[in-house]
Amino acid sequence: MKVNVLSREKWKGDVPWSTVFVFTCWHLWCWRNKHVFQNEDTVLFCPRQVICGATQEWIKSTSNRTIRVNKVQIHVTWEPPRPGKFKLNVDGSRRSITSCISAGGVIRDPFGD
């Protein structure tokens, strides 16, 4: 199978060539495995478009751009469970700068204990 998917000269954009190269290798490896192990001879009409699309999607998802979101404040109050029952409340958060995550929970009876 001879495919001229991408060349350094033809790549246009602000994505580093090393990133494009990694995605090219990944897709070629996946296509080769489908051919060898699953006997699939899928003909790609636009392999360059597939690789470029995947590369750009990865760049967008891993960029450190801050997206401003309009926040809406919602007041939530705790409602006690029925008598004889307990209620589990949980919450979690992630700090985007450090990627640290945390979660916690509390189990309460109808009296809040």
**Mean pLDDT score of the chain:** 79
- Type of residue at 108: R
State the pLDDT confidence band at 108, using cuts at 50, 70 and 90: very high
pLDDT digits (tens, 9 = 90+) for 90-103: 888 888 788 788 88
State the pLDDT confidence band at 104, using cuts at 50, 70 and 90: confident
Pairing state between β 87-95 and 100-108: antiparallel
Cα–Cα distance for residue pair 98/91, rounded to 1 Å: 19
Q: Calculate mean pLDDT across residues 106-110.
A: 93
pLDDT digits (tens, 9 = 90+) for 69-86: 777 888 888 899 999 999
Residue 42 is classified by DSSP as: P
